[in-house]
Homo-oligomer: A and B are copies of this chain.
Amino acid sequence: MTISHPSRPGTALWVYAHPRRGSFNDRLFRAGTEALSRRYEVATSDLYAQGFDPVLGDRDLGRPAGRPGNIADLAGEAYARGELAPEVREEQSKLAAAELLVLQFPLWWYGVPAILKGWFDRVLTAGFAYGDLDPELGVPRRYGDGGLFGRRALVVVTAGEDDRSIGRRGISGDIDSLLFPLTHGTLWYVGIEALGLHVVHDADTLGAEGVDREIARLRDRLDGLDAEPARPFRRLRDGDYRDTRALREDLLPGRTDFGIHLAGDDRLGAAR
């Protein structure tokens, strides 16, 4: 495990996953990176423009191809031996250098587009992004203590649906829960704290005025980002999980929703 704190404070990486030039997403991307560049050195990964191939396969698993082992272990060994593909190493390098990560994408089938999913699959390898027990800390390098510890992330997501459909009791499920595999299972797993989601609703029917309003809203959000508190999830090392697996029964008893994994309310009580 070689990565800990970002090597260049004041550096951001904006990862963008939309296929169309001139689209609303394209406008948000341009305006957002421009606004952020006033305070950060902004690197971008425009995955469509780069022709990023999201399919994790043999080339990601080191030499010789075809030797036995599970995917994560093989990719981790390939990372350790410097055998990852150049485009993956390049993304890892950008990510390691960034203090702030922005992920921008349209919501497709209630998740990220394949090209972004594959960016996680290929880039967040064992060793680089997470690992087993850290000898110094004495904790596993995952869930809050992952390899990219110390970074924050903003998720910018555009959705065709309105705030009732993807709201708390919306038919499509609450957007915070729909994206839990991203904010918790991916970002928090590798040590990155996600800020509150930046959701654009009704993205297909905004009209010119709505587009301008959303661009201004994103700029405002980015301007105030450094002062925003993150809402971190529980850390493994805090002992909230029995044997690091399931939440202790005395914490939020009876509840099974994803909200139980947020560090927060139960810590503020007098009982602790």
Interface, chain A (partner B; CB < 8 A): 19-22, 48, 53-58, 66, 68, 70-73, 106, 108-115, 117-118, 120-121, 124, 143, 160, 162, 164-165, 167-174, 177-178, 180-181, 184-186, 189, 204, 234, 236, 241-247, 255-258, 260-261
Whether B247 lies near A169 (C-beta < 8 A) is yes
Give the distance to chain B from A84, nearest Cβ to Cβ, in Å: 15
In the bound assembly, the distance between CA atoms of A139 and B242 in angstroms comes to 47
Interface of A is mostly: loop
Point out the residue from B160, B177, B246 that lies within 8 Å of A170, measured CB to CB: B246
Give the distance to chain B from A240, nearest Cβ to Cβ, in Å: 9
Whether A185 lies near B169 (C-beta < 8 A) is no
In the bound assembly, the distance between CA atoms of A66 and B121 in angstroms comes to 29
Give the distance to chain B from A39, nearest Cβ to Cβ, in Å: 30
Q: How many copies does the complex hold?
A: 2
Whether A111 lies near B115 (C-beta < 8 A) is no
Whether B245 lies near A170 (C-beta < 8 A) is yes
User: Which of A55, A143, A261 has the most C-beta atoms of chain B within 10 angstroms of its own C-beta?
Assistant: A55
Q: List 19 A-B pairs, Cβ < 8 Å.
A: A20-B71, A54-B114, A109-B117, A109-B120, A110-B185, A111-B117, A113-B118, A114-B114, A117-B118, A143-B171, A162-B245, A164-B245, A165-B245, A168-B256, A170-B247, A171-B244, A173-B185, A178-B185, A181-B181
Q: Besides A109-B186, A113-B121, A177-B257, 6 other CB < 8 A contacts?
A: A54-B114, A55-B114, A108-B120, A109-B117, A117-B118, A171-B244
Q: Which residues of B contact A57 (CB under 8 A)?
A: 19, 48
Whether B178 lies near A261 (C-beta < 8 A) is no
Whether A169 lies near B121 (C-beta < 8 A) is no
Whether A164 lies near B246 (C-beta < 8 A) is yes
Q: Which residues of B contact A143 (CB under 8 A)?
A: 171
